[in-house]
Amino acid sequence: MPIDIRPVPVPEALGTPAAREFESSAELGSLLERANWGHEDFAYSAAELLAAQRNDRHRGHAWIGAWDGDTMIGRAGLEWERNAGATTAELTLGVLPQHRRRGVGSRLLAAAEDAVRDLGRSTIVAYSDHADTESAPAEGPVLHAPDGGAALPASVPAAGFAAAHGYDLAQLERISSLTVGGRADEFRGALDARTAGANALGYRLELWTDRTPARLVDAYAAARGRMALAVPAGGITIDEEHWDAARVREREEESLDGGRTLLVAAALAPDGAVAGYTELELPLGRGFAFQSDTLVVGAHRGHGLGMLTKLANLARLTEVAPDRTEVYTWNADENEHMLAINVALGFRRCGLEAVWQRD
């Protein structure tokens, strides 16, 4: 039976006949993560995927599925900034192991590239994950990104696929995990000392869950707007993200709509500006959290605010969700300062995310 490649329709609600293909896409995501990592921790639920589609005024999303009869065997996902000056689209692609080497991935990629052209974008940034299976260096040729010291074995299938379709390695991100179980007192003690030092410099901590306090939403939007262009980019083309209070609220709605709890720790400067912040995302019903965006605004660096905000959020995580014993995070391999903070906290590398680009 021929493989059918077609867009995945977005349903009004889950659990209906119209939602079957969308739910199949989420189920496939879990299978792909298990095949790659041996676990499903990085898979998004159907509720989380639908929440992203519903809250898409600033960021667009689309899925394309590969079907063998009634079974989805592969998918491509696209995301893009909706602002008029944006030139890129981000791509993820996966095919079940037993259906590879049949041209399914190439057909999905071609369909995704057509969709990107229809969006009027000229650059595609694609991602592939690679678990660390052993600590010994890989044998044989390796690939290096423009910045950083990490290396990816040239033999991994994603590298050959990328090269065959004209994509270059633009960055390697370190995927790290941290065990937080039993460390509440340690985090709290370190936080108290850091807080005293920050207070002496005029900074103060502000913590919130899910919704940013109204008195801080504009300052938080201003800090978030710096994030996309402030992190090391390697060889990646990154579109500017336009943030205001409305976008902050939209992202909060997406998180709540998808069942995620959001913990935010921010350091406020004496003038009330958000000098630095970090976030923890808690997916519904899981035993871990994701440490996502962390930023210290340039004018406020050198005062330990990155470590301060991370300690504050980790201490709070052990208090409000003691069942979540693991935290995952992603950092550009060349982001030496942020990686040093994470290593000091106890994060250890568990894999790499390769970022590929084609203009």
DSSP string for residues in 224-264: HHHHHHHS--TT---------HHHHHHHHHHHHHTT-EEEE
**Contact criterion met (CB below 8 Å) for 31 and 43:** no
**Contact criterion met (CB below 8 Å) for 66 and 72:** yes
**Contact criterion met (CB below 8 Å) for 223 and 277:** yes
Look at residue 136 in the predicted model and tell me its pLDDT. 45
pLDDT band at 231 (very low <50, low <70, confident <90, very high): confident
pLDDT band at 322 (very low <50, low <70, confident <90, very high): very high
pLDDT at position 288 over 80: yes
Q: How far is Cα 78 from Cα 110, in angstroms, rounded to an integer?
A: 13
pTM of the model: 0.95
What are residue 343's phi and psi, to 5 degrees? -65, -40
DSSP state of 3: P
* 76 alpha-carbon distance from chain centroid: 16
Tens of pLDDT, residue by residue over 114-173, are: 999 999 999 999 999 999 974 345 578 999 999 999 999 999 999 999 999 999 999 999
**Contact criterion met (CB below 8 Å) for 121 and 89:** yes
The helix/strand/coil state of 358 is strand
Neighbours of 42 (CB within 10 A): 19
Q: How far is Cα 234 from Cα 169, in angstroms, rounded to an integer?
A: 10
Count of all residues that appear for the chain in the document: 359
Q: How far is Cα 312 from Cα 292, in angstroms, rounded to an integer?
A: 14
pLDDT at position 85 over 80: yes
The helix/strand/coil state of 216 is helix
**Contact criterion met (CB below 8 Å) for 130 and 158:** yes
Structural tokens at position 7: 């867009």
Tens of pLDDT, residue by residue over 334-349, are: 999 999 999 999 999 9
